[in-house]
Amino acid sequence: MSGKVRATHLLIKHQGSRNPVSRRTNQSTANVTRDEAIKELLVWHQKITTGEITFEQAALQRSDCGSYRQGGDLGEFGPGEMMKPFEDATRALKVGEISGVVETDSGAHLIKRLA
């Protein structure tokens, strides 16, 4: 596992997130359950895969990560720079492919590998 990858993501934080505050709204996400976050991500996943909305538009509208401003783009990252489940899921994707739900200490993510 060497080299850098690049990804964009859509993060939904919930009450189990290590910092349950949305970077998009500055509101607490402590009232959102893990199951609700996953259920909502699955709805976004369907909208993206059916072409109703682009991944980047979805991240801009909904992601709780500060990267929402860039359509969820996290830029390039190398081994050990992201949480292991996130990095492993990104590396398992082909360029252009979108993950299913990936859970980390930050919350629940959809990931699209860009490079």
- pLDDT tens per residue across span 8-64: 999 999 999 999 999 999 999 999 999 999 999 999 999 999 999 999 999 999 999
DSSP per-residue codes, 45-74: HHHHHTTSS-HHHHHHHH--SGGGGGTTEE
Report pTM: 0.96
User: CA-to-CA distance for 12 and 14, rounded, in angstroms?
Assistant: 7
Domain span at residue 100? Answer: 5-113
For the chain, the domain total comes to 1
User: Could you tell me the two tokens for 84?
Assistant: 């292991």
pLDDT tens column, 80-113: 999 999 999 999 999 999 999 999 999 999 999 9
In the block, tokens 């072409």 appear at 51
Cα Rg of the chain (Å, integer): 13
**CATH number for 78:** 3.10.50.40
Task: Report the DSSP pairing between strands 73-77 and 5-12.
Answer: antiparallel
Crossing angle (nearest 10°) for helices 55-62 and 34-49: 150
Whether residue 1 has pLDDT greater than 70:
no
